[in-house]
Chains A and B, each alone.
Chain A
Amino acid sequence: AQSVAQPEDQVNVAEGNPLTVKCTYSVSGNPYLFWYVQYPNRGLQFLLKYITGDNLVKGSYGFEAEFNKSQTSFHLKKPSALVSDSALYFCAVSRPRQADKLIFGTGTRLQVFP
């Protein structure tokens, strides 16, 4: 069965510092991997996805994520955090060609302090 884990409930980082939000997955075959962001009382917004190709994926708002097959990880990163990045971040995984059957992690709350 496929699953995704976000081991940190909350990540705190100072503005201007790099940030990392961790995600590990379990899925048979080559996974499709996604990151979404949710601001308070809003729907989820797509940030980036990995389907195939370059392991480093760049997305919206300066975020990027690195697919690491040996570690089954897909950590979200940003070189310099902004206070406005404070939100809830969800990692999601699906089997190949089944992006309509996403499994979501439990979410990580990112708090960026000025």
Chain B
Amino acid sequence: SQTIHQWPATLVQPVGSPLSLECTVEGTSNPNLYWYRQAAGRGLQLLFYSVGIGQISSEVPQNLSASRPQDRQFILSSKKLLLSDSGFYLCAWIPSQGAGANVLTFGAGSRLTVL
């Protein structure tokens, strides 16, 4: 069966420090991968998505970047965190084949607090 893992689950970082959040998917090949941010416990904002290794699309300009070094690995990074980067970050995946009827599946999330 397919599973998605995110880590770390929680992170407290000072302003100006770097960030690396990781997401891996097991039990599937060539998934579409997504990073969402949820601020203030409500709405979801799509940050990045990837349809393959090295292919990253950015939905909003910001202080963050994403990379996909392996087929089932998706990394969210920042060189220097801002206070406004605080939030709950969710990784998600969907099969690339037949995505029309499939369901976006989310990881458990990573809560980032920037102080």
Interface residues in chain A, defined as those with a beta carbon under 8 Å from any beta carbon in chain B: 32, 34, 36, 41-46, 49, 51, 88, 90, 92, 96-100, 102, 104-107
Q: Is A99 touching B94 in the complex (CB atoms < 8 A)? A: yes
Q: Are A97 and B104 in contact (CB under 8 A)?
A: no
A44 to B6, CA, bound (A): 13
Give chain B's interface residues, CB within 8 Å of chain A: 6, 32, 41-44, 49, 88, 90, 92, 94, 96, 99-109, 111
Contacts of B105 in A (CB 8 A): 46
Decide if B102 touches A104 in the complex (CB within 8 Å).
no
Q: SS class of chain A's interface: helix, strand, loop or mixed? A: loop
Q: Are A99 and B102 in contact, CB atoms less than 8 angstroms apart?
A: yes
The reply to whether B90 and A43 contact each other, CB–CB distance below 8 Å, is yes
Q: Which residues of A contact B101 (CB under 8 A)?
A: 32, 51, 99
Q: A43-B90, A49-B103, A51-B101 are in contact. Are A104 and B108 (CB under 8 A)?
A: no
Contact of B100 among A41, A45, A98 (CB under 8 A): A98
B41 touches A104 (CB 8 A): no
- Nearest first, the 4 closest Cβ-Cβ pairs linking A and B are A97-B100, A43-B106, A100-B99, A44-B106
